[in-house]
Chain A
Amino acid sequence: MLRLDCLRSVYSELEDCLVVTIMGAVAAELQSLGHRPNAFYLQHGMGLASSIGLGLALCLPEQRVVVFDGDGSLLMNLGSLTTMARYRPRNLTHVVFDNESLLSVGGFPTATSTGTNLEGMARSAGIPRVVTVRDIGNFQIAVCEPSNRKELTTIVAKVEATGPSGYVTDLSLLENRFQFRRYIQSLKQH
């Protein structure tokens, strides 16, 4: 399963969500499908995408928030699973693209390649709904399923360790940041 195909399968669904991604391939691939102002790409601060999503979800309980995390990033901030589980905002969907690799920095294998099970870790942390998916159909169902909008969900998507040839796009970090906040403020005025 390719991460880009996963993103493409839910791209239209994401239009009315707030989207937070990690750096590297995830950010570049989502932008390759077309940047929209409801997406924030955390191009550094590794591990903190899920924490940003938690802050958004707690402050905007009526707004669905989707985080696209990765195995390397989540392994750097495993405590975030326990903090998300503690407050379990119903409007937060936490997707983890697990390619068993630190792809963006040269493809070094992460601990999920040697047996660490992120689904098990998320479940044991107390995330109320956790699934692992290995094909596009099930990925799309997991992200779009209405029941997943009713409680905090972690979706571990096993994907291939391949990505785009480069990661720098023409969207500057600060442009993205200010546009994202302005988009959220415009939602609150409606």
Chain B
Amino acid sequence: MPVSLANSRLIYEALKECDIRLVSALPETWLVHLIRMADDDPQMTLVRLAKEEEAVGISAGAHFAGVKSAMLMQNHGFLASINGIVSLAQLYKIPLLMLISYRGSFGERDPWQTQGGNVTEAVLRALGIPYFLLDSVETLKKQIRHAQTLAESSLQPVAILLTRDLMWEE
């Protein structure tokens, strides 16, 4: 499978270094290695979801419990979670670390992903969610740490867009 195992491992290590202890996820192609790593890690609680919006509630519960968590989802899953993000996480100032696979952008071959790719960044901006594109192996760990730090200090959702350059090996 041309999903980058090496870069998935770097991302997973970065999450561990941030003391992330719970990961919620809905499977998507680019995330398969990350989800498997969480599943194989006895120190990690992996919650497999029926729909991504559940993850907002689960991360809120984890935050109340004092456990740092992360959400793995596709950008369409982010789009499906918006009410939870606005009327739970933002309303109640809950930190969320959202790792979002950025499908439907340049290089996308699946026609069904393309409309979501068009609107992802515009929706993030409209919601006032701080985000960046993660595409560099060299700075990856520092960027993920910085995102997690901002989520915790500002008590709000932040988003990391996982790019094709990082996740996919042609």
The interface of chain A, by Cβ under 8 A from chain B, is 18, 20, 40, 42-60, 77, 79-80, 82-83, 86-87, 173-174, 177, 180-181, 184-185, 188
The reply to whether B91 and A185 form a contact with Cβ atoms under 8 Å apart is no
Partner of B58 from A18, A40, A51, A173 at Cβ < 8 Å: A51
Q: How far is the CB of A177 from chain B (nearest CB, A)?
A: 5
B128 at the interface (CB under 8 A from A): no
The reply to whether B92 and A174 form a contact with Cβ atoms under 8 Å apart is yes
B118 at the interface (CB under 8 A from A): no
The interface of chain B, by Cβ under 8 A from chain A, is 21-22, 45, 47-51, 53-67, 69, 83-84, 87-88, 91-94
Classify the secondary structure of A's interface with B.
Answer: helix
Q: Can you report 25 residue pairs joining A to B where beta carbons are below 8 Å apart?
A: A45-B84, A45-B87, A45-B91, A46-B83, A47-B53, A48-B53, A51-B54, A51-B57, A51-B60, A52-B58, A52-B61, A54-B47, A55-B58, A55-B60, A55-B61, A55-B62, A56-B61, A56-B65, A58-B45, A59-B61, A79-B49, A80-B57, A86-B48, A177-B92, A184-B66
Closest to B48 in A: A86
Within the assembled complex, what's the spacing in Å between the Cα atoms of A185 and B53?
A: 26
**A-B pairs with lowest CB-CB distance, top 10:** A55-B61, A51-B57, A79-B50, A45-B88, A48-B57, A59-B65, A44-B87, A55-B58, A56-B61, A52-B61
Q: How far is the CB of B14 from chain A (nearest CB, A)?
A: 21
The reply to whether A44 and B88 form a contact with Cβ atoms under 8 Å apart is yes
Which B residues touch A185, using CB under 8 A? 66
Residue among A52, A55, A174 with most chain B CB within 10 A: A55
The reply to whether B63 and A181 form a contact with Cβ atoms under 8 Å apart is yes
The reply to whether B54 and A45 form a contact with Cβ atoms under 8 Å apart is no
Q: How far is the CB of B110 from chain A (nearest CB, A)?
A: 24
Closest to B24 in A: A55
Partner of B65 from A49, A55, A177 at Cβ < 8 Å: A55
Partner of B57 from A54, A86, A174 at Cβ < 8 Å: A54
Closest to B85 in A: A45
The reply to whether B54 and A56 form a contact with Cβ atoms under 8 Å apart is no
Given contact pairs A40-B64, A59-B21, A173-B92, enumerate 9 new A-B contacts (beta carbons under 8 Å): A54-B58, A55-B61, A55-B62, A58-B45, A59-B67, A80-B50, A181-B64, A184-B65, A184-B66
Partner of B54 from A18, A43, A80, A181 at Cβ < 8 Å: A80
Which A residues touch B83, using CB under 8 A? 45-46
Residue among B51, B57, B88, B91 with most chain A CB within 10 A: B57
